[in-house]
Amino acid sequence: MNKFLWDLAYFQQRAILAPTNKVVDSINKELLESLPGEEKVYFSSDSLCQSEDESEFNMALFPPDVLNNLRLSGLPNHKLILKLGAPVMLLRNIDQANRLCNGARLQVTRHEKVVIEAKIITWTKIGHHTLISRLKMTLSDKRILVKISRRQFPLSLCFCYDNK
The H-or-E segment that residue 80 falls in is strand 79-82
The pTM assigned to this predicted structure is 0.84
Cα angle value 136/122/107 (rounded, 5°):
60
Within the chain, residue ranges assigned H as helices are: 8-12, 21-34, 56-61, 64-69
Could you read off the pLDDT of 2-22 as tens digits, one per residue?
A: 666 667 677 777 778 888 888
Tell me which DSSP letter residue 24 carries: H
> pLDDT digits over 123-145, tens only?
778 899 999 999 999 876 777 77
Q: Please tell me the predicted confidence (pLDDT) of residue 154.
A: 96
Cα–Cα distances (Å) from 42 to 9, 39, 60, 77, 92, in that order, read 27, 10, 25, 10, 17
What ranges do the domains of the chain cover?
A: 2-162
- Higher-confidence residue of 62 and 68: namely 68
